Structure 1
Amino acid sequence: MDGTLTPPEVIDRLRETFPELTAVSASGVVELLLNSGYVEDAAAAPPDEFSTAEQERYSRNIAFFRRVDLTPRAHNWEAQVRLKHSRVLVLGLGGTGSHVAWALAACGVGRIHCVDRDVVELSNLTRQVLYRESDIGRAKAEITVARLAEVNSSLAITGERRTVECQDDLAELVRGFDALALCADEPGGRGGIRVWANRACRAAKVPWAVGGYSGPLVSVGVFDPGSPCYECLSAGIELTLPPGVPVDLGGPGVIAPSAGVSGHLTAQAIISLVTGIPAVPGGYVTGVNLVAPDQHVYARHPAVPDCPVCGDLRPGAGSTAP
């Protein structure tokens, strides 16, 4: 089943090789394989929009998507096409964000806009992968744009040094993008930047992911317009904690591995959101504890009945929360 034979010809070949197979059984085997998503037309050429160099560059991406994608598609470049046409906003270019930005550029996200208010400091160099000692004092956004262009010159990489001060600022930023990677943690707490992102993205119907670390605990929250929101998830987690203990997905303690894992978990979430591979609904947080491998973080909660953000998920409001 490499594209050189039609399905009826494959069935005939099967029956020649295995005479005990009936026509019905052989047809069933072929149909099962076709529907599995693991069989493709090897004769199908990559889309014309990919140059010879891009075909070589992304060959390992294609092998990855072929392995994990179980949906039959017109050609095995569909996920890469979606990446090439996607527009992603990366907000925050520190420990998590620098790894996110690099991973998205390496994978071939067509347009990446990088936003951060800070300049590079010496203490950043333990974990923020895009910066060098010679960059100290320079704006992170400026450096990131230049470094990503060296990683993948075929992309549209832009950036700006900017402070996000309110929900309206975030709403302005996410407009026109297919996904947000939130890698900034200030202002934190109730009513902080994660709540701004939750509400701005929900209003704009933009999926988003937020990565963080607290010492060795690394996590990512993933949200899309059709699933319970960040505030519902936080409320659900709070119910499982002793009174007065806040939900905290971040903290100052970090080394290079925890920043890297955080960034790559977040990048993988963004890639899944824009390609649909795998098609996992959002509204969850997942992660790992790097010093306790048996501790896997995973939480998902239904929409809170009186949530002002996901009121569309209330029963009778046109959708049902998963």
Structure 2
Amino acid sequence: MRLPRVKPEHRPHKYGQDKIRIGGAIYGIAAEITDPDGFAWAALNIMDGTRTQREIAGHLHDRFPGLSVDAAQRIVDLLVGSGYVEDAAATPPGELSATEQERYSRNMAFFRRVDLRPRPHGWDAQIRLKRARVLVLGLGGTGSHAAWALAACGVGTLHCVDRDVVELSNLTRQSLYRESDIGRPKASVAVARLAEVNSSAEITGEVRQIVRAEELAELVRGFDALALCADEPAGPDGIRVWANRACRAAKTPWAVGGYSGPLVSVAVFDPAGPCYECLTETVEASLDAPPPVLGDTGVIATSAGVSGHLTAHAVISLVTGVPELPGGYVTGVNLVAPDQHVYTRHPPDPRCPACGPPSPGPP
């Protein structure tokens, strides 16, 4: 890093005699530094993008004569590697045009705040989005919001699949459709509308019903992530299990979102973590009642919107690695009981038919 600068969102604050907080506690990404000698505080306050790492270390050595040059350099290196510092000398990559930099400037500010991996520049996550190929399966309440968010955020290639046509009852919650679209295929309308949202993205679609697991396995190939927003075929051996096994085989991360009345949730999976089948098996075994059925008819615009945006956010995280979260978990909210936050994650089930160890062959 040529010219370290503390990210503006992470301006450090000193409290007490020897404590520094950096990162903003309310965002869940803060760090607390114990700094009895004031070395870190002094270094952070001159990391303003005008000095090299070596110059900052030299300043510390001059200010604190008892601090060796090597020790001062180690302090600077630790702070630079913390993720709260950026390179003021970094220039925007040529892969993003000036128009794209303007369009995605708020995205960049978001990723810069939450990404604690040292990067060569602040546009790394946006470039990953631009290169990504994402499949959105299902364009109803969850899927229409998810597809809009993914297109708006800058996913480079988005393929939208749905079997249905727009109906009057869809208009209460499905964000891509208008009264004039009633009777038209959702996939066709979605492609046209999303192209108006982001003309620089490659957005395609097809009117298609997935009726066999093999079809889904074929469809998933070549994509970097799947946003599963369809709920049919339902049941214990339905489309979610098909998606789990297809993505597991293709090593494709995926997210599935849905709602049951006011309960909104998303499940997120990557090829290395617990899969959908072992997670649901563990969760269902621990419940005293049947689990909620996601995708029922009780839904309003807000529950569909939250569901879709949680799903899109999960896909964005899977594609960019920001934030870097382990897959194999469920999270969500209850819109009529805000204190009931949903979160569960379990280790892989060794008996799981999808991700457990392979069965031994015949002797």
Alpha-carbon offset, residue 23 of structure 1: 3.9
CA distance in 2, matches of 1:28, 1:64: 29
CA distance in 2, matches of 1:61, 1:115: 26
What is the aligned partner in structure 2 of residue 233 from structure 1?
Answer: 279
CA distance in 1, matches of 2:336, 2:127: 38
What is the aligned partner in structure 2 of residue 134 from structure 1?
Answer: 180
What is the aligned partner in structure 1 of residue 50 from structure 2?
Answer: 4
CA distance in 2, matches of 1:96, 1:21: 60
Q: Deviations over 1:245-284 (max 9, x none)?
A: 2453332111111111101100010001111111111111
Q: Give the residue type in structure 2 aligned to 1:249.
A: L
**Within the alignment, does 1:277 sit opposite 2:322 as a pair?**
yes
What is the aligned partner in structure 2 of residue 295 from structure 1?
Answer: 340
Moved more, 33-42 or 96-105: 33-42
RMSD: 1.8
Q: Deviations over 1:95-150 (max 9, x none)?
A: 10011101011111100000000111111011111111111111110111111111
Gaps spanning 5+ residues in structure 2: where? 6-48
Which among 55, 58, 67 is matched to residue 113 of structure 2? 67
Contact preservation (8 Å) 2:264, 2:335: yes
What is the aligned partner in structure 1 of residue 28 from structure 2?
Answer: none
Q: Give the residue type in structure 2 aligned to 1:305.
A: P
Alpha-carbon offset, residue 27 of structure 1: 3.1
CA distance in 1, matches of 2:127, 2:164: 33
Decide whether aligned partners of structure 1 residues 83 and 312 sit closer, same or farther in structure 2, where only a CA change above 3 A counts: farther
* 1:115-264 superposed matches below 5 A: 115-242=161-288, 245-246=290-291, 248-264=293-309
What is the aligned partner in structure 1 of residue 129 from structure 2?
Answer: 83
CA distance in 2, matches of 1:86, 1:23: 47
Q: Give the residue type in structure 1 aligned to 2:170.
A: N
Alpha-carbon offset, residue 20 of structure 1: 7.0
Decide whether aligned partners of structure 1 residues 128 and 207 sit closer, same or farther in structure 2, where only a CA change above 3 A counts: same
Q: Give the residue type in structure 1 aligned to 2:175.
A: V
What is the aligned partner in structure 2 of residue 47 from structure 1?
Answer: 93
What is the aligned partner in structure 1 of residue 350 from structure 2?
Answer: 305
TM-score, structure 2 as length reference: 0.82
Secondary structure in 1 aligned to 2:259? strand
Alpha-carbon offset, residue 33 of structure 1: 1.7
Structure index of larger Rg: 2
Contact preservation (8 Å) 1:303, 1:313: no
Which among 111, 115, 122 is matched to residue 157 of structure 2? 111
Contact preservation (8 Å) 1:83, 1:275: yes
Moved more, 299-308 or 144-153: 299-308
Secondary structure in 2 aligned to 1:36? coil
Secondary structure in 1 aligned to 2:293? coil
Alpha-carbon offset, residue 28 of structure 1: 4.3
CA distance in 2, matches of 1:209, 1:262: 11
CA distance in 2, matches of 1:21, 1:142: 70
CA distance in 2, matches of 1:147, 1:277: 28
CA distance in 1, matches of 2:166, 2:327: 33
Q: Deviations over 1:54-106 (max 9, x none)?
A: 01111111111111111111221111111110000000001100111010111
Bigger RCO (CA 8 Å, 6+ sep)? 1
CA distance in 1, matches of 2:92, 2:303: 37
State percent identity of aligned pairs. 71
Secondary structure in 2 aligned to 1:292? coil
CA distance in 1, matches of 2:248, 2:154: 26
Decide whether aligned partners of structure 1 residues 313 and 43 sit closer, same or farther in structure 2, where only a CA change above 3 A counts: farther
Contact preservation (8 Å) 1:208, 1:222: yes
Decide whether aligned partners of structure 1 residues 206 and 313 sit closer, same or farther in structure 2, where only a CA change above 3 A counts: farther
Q: Give the residue type in structure 2 aligned to 1:252.
A: T
Secondary structure in 1 aligned to 2:86? coil
Secondary structure in 1 aligned to 2:231? coil
Decide whether aligned partners of structure 1 residues 136 and 77 sit closer, same or farther in structure 2, where only a CA change above 3 A counts: same
Secondary structure in 2 aligned to 1:81? helix
